[in-house]
Structure 1
Amino acid sequence: MTNAAEPTPTRAQLRRWRRYLADERAEAAVYRDLAERRIGEEREILLALADAERRHEQHWLELLGDHAKTVPAVSLRTRILGFFARRFGSIFFLALAQRAEGRSPYEADAHATDAMAADERVHAEVVRGLAARGRNRLAGTFRAAVFGANDGLVSNLALVLGIGATGVAPAVVLFTGLAGLLAGALSMAAGEYVSVRSQRELLEASTPDPDSHRALPALDLDANELALVYRARGLDAREADERARAVLASDRPEEASRAHAPAIDEHEEVGSAWRAAFSSFVFFASGAAIPVLPYAIGLTGLTAVLWAALLVGIALVVTGAIVGVLSGASPVKRALRQLGIGYGAAAATYLLGLAFGTTIA
């Protein structure tokens, strides 16, 4: 029940509190649902977040009193979070939740406690950390897929519209688009393979040689090169010398060397070069096929141009929004940016084609 000494809440306040209550319940349910699909530390973190949302729910229940009996449906934002969590896995939900937690209205609401506002701000950082784990797992192949699709959409739309604007026959535009699709997909796959493979080789070259430990028993304790190894790995001279002496003084220097080895900087997970290449090929080809579709089904002239631009525009908006969601940024801004870049490139080649138009039949 609401405290009798407090003024009767207004209808606007009651509506707002009911909305907060519904959202807290829904968010707690989604966190618990995600926790059921996880094990270990991630499960414990998600359950702790759900418990915090329950504490916030109890606050609004106490404020509402009997008015809590008529709680409205959850907000559109929370429904979107739940949809992504259940349909697409935790990475999409956590990326969206990161932005949602960071925009909590509690700091500006006098009826929310300071502790609740602080909770929401800290929750944003907790969710950011969980989302980062998911992003790292998606790093290699997903990056190749997203950028491959986007490159296919933009480059082949620009090619098709540029050639089409010259006035050549629709069959020429179609085969030019198909050639661009194949050439671009092969180029992307080869480039991605070389890039990922080279990155793996660079990381392997920086990894300490495991056989080097066998040389430790023969090193001179007073003038040993082991300290130089540690200094090359980032330790200062004094710490490197102390660690080297401790290793060589041990009864089992090989094991001691492994235990005292300086930590190597963690790198982004690179993934398989072949998998990245295949993903890049497939997604570039799928993106590049879209602007060719109108010509493949027999459309010609301005009709084909408009349909190609429309289909590619829809695809650019989708890929841009996905990148925005996963990066924790605004999906709308990222979608519009992708759309602007794609249409800008296509418009430039289309105008160039018009300028150098031909009457070839």
Structure 2
Amino acid sequence: MPARIPTPAQIKRWRQYLADERAEAAVYRDLAKRREGDEYAILMALAEAERRHEQHWLDLLGEHAEPAIRPSLRNQLLGLLARRFGSVFVLALAQRSESRSPYATDADATEAMAADESIHEEVIRGLSASGRNSLAGSFRAAVFGANDGLVSNLSLVMGMAATGVGSQVVLFSGIAGLLAGALSMGAGEYVSVRSQRELLDASQPTQVTLLAAPSLDLENNELVLVYLARGMSREAAEHRAAERMGHFSCDCDPSLSLRPENFETTDDHETLGTAWGAASSSFCFFASGAIIPILPFVFGMTGVGALVLACVLVGVALLGTGGVVGLLSGASPLWRGLRQLGIGMGAAAATYLLGLLFGAVVG
């Protein structure tokens, strides 16, 4: 029971905290159902921590705990997604939710609870790391392609319209921009990712040392240089080279004993994605973005009305892509969306002004 009678404002706030803690615990349990091993144990431990927080508010509220209220809209949405998907998007939302905990500034929450919420954010960040890495290559190409299509084709349409040409010319210019840009983006991404993969492959260790070792000169053992170049200490490199050449095998130091040459390296290939995946993502998403500015003209609209509608449609799309980037990065979706909107509309406005100037000079 609380030592003092809580105020109506405290009761309202504590009830909301209670509802949100229950909802967050349910989210972690639902996510755990789709995992196994360590990930399952981690998510269930997070659910148990939220249950402890729930008990804290129950103890403070006492008889005022009822009637129960609904969790925040954010937690309701998170719970709905967790029950049906359990993907990296849900983990990103959970990370964002943990980062916005009010416990650090609420005197009624304990320091341990505030610390728990901070740690929970880092735990979720770690759990979602592999999913973000697998998405990073193709997702980067997709987001970049969509935004480039939206901004470049809107700018093209705005610039052409500002010169005073007919709506049909604007439409065909937009279609030409869509095709040229999509093909260019796809080809560029393929070459870029393929080149990066080839550079990474060139740095990976090979088994050539096993083949060349028997023929090497013992007095000028260049095999030692191979292991030194891979980051071994000189003692370990000399020990490994001697073993590879078959001169001795020593178990006095297990860390230097013979073992397969499997060096632990970061899988940058996974982060890059595949060349064809990046190319197809860039092509499709550029085209999907570039078609939006010309939709009003496709459906027969002309003049200022078509331009205004094109700007509105592109603005909504920019807010959406920016919001998704913010969500997956654990940042504010609204801020990222507004940033994308400002950049896109600024580029379109600049091109429109240049079109007006060009039209005036030519006219």
**TM-score (ref. length: structure 2):** 0.91
Q: 2:119 aligns with which of 119, 122, 132?
A: 122
Deviation at 1:40, TM superposition (A): 2.3
**1:104-150 Cα shifts (integer Å, max 9, x gaps):** 22222222222222211111110111122211121222221111111
Q: 1:132 aligns with which of 105, 129, 139?
A: 129
Q: 1:108 aligns with which of 101, 105, 110?
A: 105
* Distance in 1 (alpha carbons) for counterparts of 2:84 and 2:166: 45
Q: State yes or no: 1:286 paired with 2:285.
A: no
* Distance in 2 (alpha carbons) for counterparts of 1:258 and 1:173: 66
Q: 2:346 aligns with which of 344, 353, 357?
A: 344
* Distance in 2 (alpha carbons) for counterparts of 1:267 and 1:345: 34
Deviation at 1:219, TM superposition (A): 4.0
Q: Which residue of structure 2 lines up, in the alignment, with residue 318 of structure 1?
A: 320
Instruction: Give the match's secondary structure for 1:356.
Output: helix
Number of aligned pairs? 356
Q: 1:25 to 1:103 in 2, by over 3 A?
A: same
Q: 1:96 to 1:67 in 2, by over 3 A?
A: same
* Distance in 1 (alpha carbons) for counterparts of 2:263 and 2:84: 42
- Asked whether the equivalents of residues 209 and 223 of structure 2 are also in contact (C-alpha less than 8 Å), the reply is no
Identity %: 64
* Distance in 2 (alpha carbons) for counterparts of 1:241 and 1:71: 70
**1:308-359 Cα shifts (integer Å, max 9, x gaps):** 1010000000000000101111111110110011001100110111112179
* Distance in 2 (alpha carbons) for counterparts of 1:158 and 1:53: 49
Q: 1:88 to 1:165 in 2, by over 3 A?
A: farther
* Distance in 2 (alpha carbons) for counterparts of 1:150 and 1:241: 53
Deviation at 1:283, TM superposition (A): 0.7
* Distance in 2 (alpha carbons) for counterparts of 1:221 and 1:24: 68
Q: 1:175 to 1:258 in 2, by over 3 A?
A: farther
* Distance in 2 (alpha carbons) for counterparts of 1:358 and 1:178: 25
Gaps of 5+ in 2: 251-256
For 1:71, give the aligned amino acid. A
**1:281-315 Cα shifts (integer Å, max 9, x gaps):** 11100100000101111111111110110100000
For 2:287, give the aligned amino acid. A
Q: Which residue of structure 2 lines up, in the alignment, with residue 354 of structure 1?
A: 356
Q: Which residue of structure 2 lines up, in the alignment, with residue 250 of structure 1?
A: 249
* Distance in 2 (alpha carbons) for counterparts of 1:97 and 1:88: 13
- Asked whether the equivalents of residues 326 and 337 of structure 2 are also in contact (C-alpha less than 8 Å), the reply is yes
Structure 1 range deviating more: 76-85 or 111-120:
76-85
Superposed structure 1 runs of 4+ greater than 6 Å apart: 358-361
Q: Which residue of structure 1 lines up, in the alignment, with residue 268 of structure 2?
A: 267
- Asked whether the equivalents of residues 167 and 358 of structure 1 are also in contact (C-alpha less than 8 Å), the reply is no
For 1:314, give the aligned amino acid. V
Q: State yes or no: 1:91 paired with 2:88.
A: yes
Q: Which residue of structure 2 lines up, in the alignment, with residue 68 of structure 1?
A: 65
Deviation at 1:65, TM superposition (A): 1.6
Q: 1:287 to 1:257 in 2, by over 3 A?
A: farther
Q: Which residue of structure 1 lines up, in the alignment, with residue 19 of structure 2?
A: 22
Deviation at 1:24, TM superposition (A): 0.7
Q: Which residue of structure 1 lines up, in the alignment, with residue 333 of structure 2?
A: 331
* Distance in 2 (alpha carbons) for counterparts of 1:274 and 1:262: 28
Q: 1:197 to 1:154 in 2, by over 3 A?
A: same
Deviation at 1:48, TM superposition (A): 1.3
Structure 1 range deviating more: 330-339 or 232-241:
232-241
**1:150-202 Cα shifts (integer Å, max 9, x gaps):** 11000000001100111101110000000000000000000011111111111
**Root-mean-square deviation over aligned CA pairs:** 2.4
Structure 1 range deviating more: 189-198 or 115-124:
115-124
Q: Which residue of structure 1 lines up, in the alignment, with residue 46 of structure 2?
A: 49
Q: Which residue of structure 1 lines up, in the alignment, with residue 254 of structure 2?
A: none
Gaps of 5+ in 1: none
Q: Which residue of structure 1 lines up, in the alignment, with residue 302 of structure 2?
A: 300
Q: 1:238 to 1:212 in 2, by over 3 A?
A: closer
- Asked whether the equivalents of residues 243 and 260 of structure 1 are also in contact (C-alpha less than 8 Å), the reply is no
- Asked whether the equivalents of residues 85 and 92 of structure 1 are also in contact (C-alpha less than 8 Å), the reply is no
Q: Which residue of structure 2 lines up, in the alignment, with residue 193 of structure 1?
A: 190
- Asked whether the equivalents of residues 167 and 359 of structure 1 are also in contact (C-alpha less than 8 Å), the reply is no
